[in-house]
Amino acid sequence: MIDQSVRSLLEGVIDTPLKLQLVLMFAEHQHLRATAAQVADRIYRDIWSTREALRELAESGVLSETNSPDGPVYAFCPACELAEPIRRLIHCYNEPLERDLIHRMLREIAGDASYRRAVRMGIAFESLSF
């Protein structure tokens, strides 16, 4: 069974498969300091969605963001309140049955991600264009 703190982390912060991939990568390589372009090359994803996911993870307190001439540089630096849920997420993710459950939950959450972000930002969902 997925811990409630992990569920809350997935719903509130890591609401897409790309963000999960990024958090797992940065947690595994805690020394990594990289720009969005470097990360996109490393994970074989497009620069636009990678840049947006990195920015959102930095805003949520999972990553730190520092400026450089090549653009923002991201590093794993979770806020105190996120450190334990991230540790539990990684522990769950290492268990095959729980990993499947995490992916299933994340697919459901990802469908509501735009709505959840709009609510957090105080934007009327109806005003968003897709």
CATH number at residue 11: 1.10.10.10
Whether 129 is in a domain gets the answer no
Question: What is the band of 45 on the pLDDT scale with cuts at 50, 70, 90?
Answer: very high
Indicate whether 48 belongs to any domain. Answer: yes
Report which of 100, 107, 109, 112 is spatially closest to residue 2, judged by C-alpha positions.
100
pLDDT digits over 50-108, tens only? 999 999 999 999 999 999 999 999 999 999 999 999 999 999 999 999 999 999 999 98
Residue 33 forms part of a structural domain:
yes
When the pLDDT of each residue in the chain is averaged and rounded to a whole number, the result is: 90
Q: Do 61 and 71 meet the contact criterion of CB atoms below 8 Å apart?
A: no
State which residues form the domain around 67.
4-119
Across the range 43-54, mean pLDDT stands at 97
| Count of domains for the chain | 1
Q: Is residue 38 part of a domain?
A: yes
More confident residue, 126 or 73: 73
- Classify residue 112: in a domain, yes or no: yes
